[in-house]
Every structure is written in structure tokens, then in C-alpha cells.
Amino acid sequence: MKKLIPLLIILTVMGIIAVIFISMAKDKQPVTIEKGNAEMKALPLKVNFTNDPYCKMLIIEQRNSSQVVSPDGNTWFFDDPACMVLWLQDKSFKNTAKLWIYSIDTEQWIDARNAWYGRADQTAMHYGFGAREHKTKDAIDFITMSLYVLRGEHLGNPKIRKKLLGE
């Protein structure tokens, strides 16, 4: 009987561990990619349940979020337009992908390549490129915004921040 007690303890502990692992496997994991978007349309964003594949942050608001849809129907979501640009730069489908962005002026998904971008807006990762459907006085186009991102000329750069915000 004394030899049986340690075996029962080990089996009990193993059973508890098994139950924990099974329950964890059933929990829903955050979305990192949506498949099957053959029409390349903007998909609904699952706020607080979708991870940005570039910065790995959980997307907590729709404002200035973006989507990249590859020709094979895979869709990735981003919390900041700059994360989208940085992630996309080495992808083979970067020129054929459909890019969507949630505009701050019309509050809807619009074509990111046709959007206008501010340089000192509040964005999730603090790059400052807020998207608009309608052009404003100092707004820049997608190509210019992308160049600024890739060259590091954004609010994350202290020299640019001081130039744009006087800080």
C-alpha cells in the first residue's frame, strides 16, 4: 500500500496537468491571418483579438488599422500604417496585394494606396501617419508616406518629432 500512494499521487498530478493542457487548447487564440479572401475585400477586424504580424501587438482599435490581402486570399491586419509598410517591403506580392486602411475622416475601410496621410497623427505605434479618404492641406500620398517610413522619417525619430511637433 505504501508503494501505491506515490504512484497515485503521480497519476493524479499527471491527470491535473492533462486537464489544464486540454482546456488551454480549447481557448481561442488571437488571429494572425485570415485565409480565403479570394475577393480581396476589406474584412471585419476583430479588435482585441487580432495580432499585428510586424510589431506583434494586439490590435486594440480600428482607427488607422490596415489590412494586406495577397492574391491568394490571405489577409493580415496591422495596428499602424507604418507596420504594414515595413512588413510588406520584402514580400513578393507587395505590388499586387490589395491594401486597405481604416480612415480617420470617414471611418470606413478605404484603398490604402489612394488614401492621404498626415505626418503627426496619433497612431498605435506612434509613427504618426494617420489615413484619410479626403485630402487635407499637408497630407501626403501613399508612396511618399511609404518612403518616409522606410527612411525612418516619422514621429519615432526624435529629430523628425521635434521638427513636426516642436518637442
User: Which pLDDT tens digit goes with each residue over 106-115?
Assistant: 999 999 999 9
Distance CA 23, CA 42 (A): 33
In contact, 100 and 94? CB cutoff 8 Å: no
Return the pLDDT at 120: 96
What are the φ and ψ backbone dihedral angles of 7, each rounded to 5 degrees? Answer: -65, -40
In contact, 67 and 43? CB cutoff 8 Å: yes
Q: Is the pLDDT of residue 83 over 70?
A: yes
Q: What mean pLDDT do residues 58-64 have?
A: 95
Instruction: For residue 33, give the nearest of 68, 84, 71 by alpha carbon.
Output: 68
Q: What mean pLDDT do residues 48-60 have?
A: 95
Residue type, 47: V
* Terminal C-alpha separation, the chain: 75
The string over 93-107, giving b where at least 16 C-beta atoms fall within 10 Å of a residue's C-beta and e elsewhere, is eeeebbbbbbbbeee
Q: Whole-number mean pLDDT of the chain?
A: 91
What are the φ and ψ backbone dihedral angles of 142, each rounded to 5 degrees? Answer: -65, -45
Lowest mean pLDDT among 4-8, 91-95, 139-143, 150-154: 4-8
Q: What is the DSSP letter of 2?
A: T
Q: Is the pLDDT of residue 151 over 80?
A: yes
This prediction's pTM: 0.81
